[in-house]
Amino acid sequence: AIERDGLLPGSAAPSWSIADSAGRVHQSPSASGLQLIIFGNHALKAFPSLLEGLRELSELDPALDILVLSDSYSSLTEPFFKLVGLGNLAIITGSRSLYGRYNVRVSPFIILVDSDGRVRASSLVNHGWQIMTLYKIACLEPDPISQPGVSSLNDQLAEALGPE
């Protein structure tokens, strides 16, 4: 069942707007470009490679909007991310309901969303290399054939040729 968690690439991601503890409002999708949402909290301490991957990616692409979305408030989450050198990431307190809208039941889970609100990549992750791979996939140009509302090449040919 976990292999079916998350949202499929090309599907619409939920839209939301939530203030962090400093009062800064964050939204999804991000108007500024690609956004990486990591579902988790201070329990990510069990995944040191994953944390290193987040650190590496935030240095590689400073324009990438990286959000840590927890399903409930914990006073440990923000201090933990500061302690491990990821205090630059936005920590957002969401809800189980918001997790449900993303079809996420377990963490750590990552979903990359483009500025049009489309999921570009989505997966359960445990290691830094997985984050980098998902990021590379998300940066690829989407295949127009696989986009909703765009017919396949065979459909286009059949339409152009007319009835048999």
Which letter does DSSP use for residue 116 in this model?
A: T
119: β partners = 113
Q: Of 36, 35, 17, whose CA–CA distance to 26 is shortest?
A: 17
Tell me what pLDDT residue 153 has: 45
2 contact partners, CB below 8 Å, separation of at least 6: 105, 106, 124
Q: 49 vs 144, which has greater pLDDT?
A: 49
Q: Is 37 exposed, middle or buried (0-12, 13-18, 19+ CB in 10 A)?
A: buried
Whether omega before 14 lies within 30 degrees of 0, making that bond cis, reads no
Mean of pLDDT values over 121-147:
86
Q: Of 149, 156, 113, whose CA–CA distance to 8 is shortest?
A: 113
* pTM higher than the cut 0.95: no
Enter the tokens of residue 107.
């963490």
Q: 52 vs 141, which has greater pLDDT?
A: 52
pLDDT tens string 28-72:
999 889 999 999 999 999 999 999 999 999 999 999 999 999 999
Tell me what pLDDT residue 144 has: 61
Mean of pLDDT values over 138-153:
62
